[in-house]
Amino acid sequence: MKRFIAGALAAPLLALAAGPASASGGTLNVICGVQVEWCSLVQTTFSRATGIKVNMVQKGAGEALAQIAAESANPKTDVWFGGTGDPHLQAAEKGLTLAYQSPNINLLRDWAVEQAKAAKYRTVGIYSGPLGFAYNTELMAKKKLPVPMCWADLIQPQYKGEVQMANPNSSGTAYMAIATLVQLTGEDKAFEYLKKLHQNISQYPRSGTGPLKNVSHGENTISISFVHDVPGEVIQGFPVKSVTPCEGTGYEIGSMSIVKGARNLANAKRFYDWALTAQAQELGAAAKQFQLPSNKAAKVDPRVPDVSHIKLISYDFEKYGKATERKRLLDRWEKEVNGD
């Protein structure tokens, strides 16, 4: 994965035609798992190109999965766009999403196609990015704190009350952090670590981007976040920097799924096909979001994290994308860490 992305960043990129341009009308109901700015741009661009009215709500991956599961007998959502891939794989395993092999799947990088194959085409990868830490440079200087360079640093006493991670029950980002630590150290050691980290946590926001937003606004010092979200905060003038942990870190394959029983299935497939095109995926960078697009021809913004300088683990998406594994780890976290 690491070698593939690194090579992809350096490879020359081709131009591709945009998605459908003719108006068709109708509606489409979307849960969006990326940041609000990107959600809005996707909503307006697709609607203008097709004449389809897009009703969109933004939710964390855990919340999206819970909603889709709760509505499975009478689905109100057509497409789930974005958010970490593990919950999308869990939805596929539970039969909550529809198998659909887009004709545009041959335009995608290998890791995106593998995500689709693992889910029997009930989801597909649309972007990727690594997990790390973000920190407010002004608060760090004011409090005379060193920059945490490793997972081991975050549990040091000097960071008590200075760290935020999202709640893994509602956030795919935070669940991935737990799964990453389990794969790095083994499960028992990971939970001993999480107990120590809990002593330094000031808050567990519901959304995966919540801790970073709080760091940007000076409401907290350090967050466990996807590092591709940090350049967007810097562009807005916030004093934020990022680092990836020295021991190694996981990475997300942000995904997209069509909900089984979608009321607007034809429009859902049209959106799905469009979202896999180069121009559609370039909307991420246009919205100042800097994940690596899954479409091989999409232009890669220079602010996308260069994974050739990041120690990535061989993240087991198949294992940690299973609903039973997620539930087991979250139950243990709730009992041993959050319930402490």
Pick the CATH number of 2-128+253-303 from 3.40.50.410, 3.60.60.10, 3.40.50.300, 3.40.190.10: 3.40.190.10
Residue spans per domain, the chain: 2-128+253-303, 130-250+325-338
**pLDDT band (50, 70, 90) for residue 17:** very low
Which token pair is 95? Answer: 């039969």
Q: d(Cα 254, Cα 272) in Å, to the nearest integer?
A: 14
Cα–Cα–Cα angle for 140, 305, 157, rounded to 5 degrees:
30
Q: d(Cα 333, Cα 319) in Å, to the nearest integer?
A: 18
* Residues 233/212, Cβ–Cβ less than 8 Å: yes
Tokens 């709730």, residue located: 334
pLDDT digits (tens, 9 = 90+) for 291-326: 999 999 999 999 999 888 999 999 998 899 898 999
Query: How far, in Å, are 23, 55, 108, 152 from residue 305 at the CA level?
Result: 37, 31, 19, 22
- Per the prediction, the chain carries an average pLDDT of 91
The mean pLDDT value for 23-46 works out to 91
Which token pair is 190? Answer: 């990971």
pTM of the model: 0.81
In CATH, what number does 130-250+325-338 get? 3.40.190.10
* Residues 78/29, Cβ–Cβ less than 8 Å: yes
pLDDT digits (tens, 9 = 90+) for 187-235: 999 999 999 999 999 999 998 889 999 999 999 999 999 999 999 999 9
Q: d(Cα 297, Cα 15) in Å, to the nearest integer?
A: 6
Given this model, what pLDDT does residue 321 score? 86
Query: How far, in Å, are 42, 93, 171, 249, 250 from residue 131 at the CA level?
Result: 24, 24, 13, 6, 6
* Residues 276/107, Cβ–Cβ less than 8 Å: yes
Question: What is the crossing angle of helices 172-185 and 85-93, to 10°?
Answer: 90
Tell me if 2-128+253-303 shares its fold with 130-250+325-338.
yes
* Residues 138/222, Cβ–Cβ less than 8 Å: no
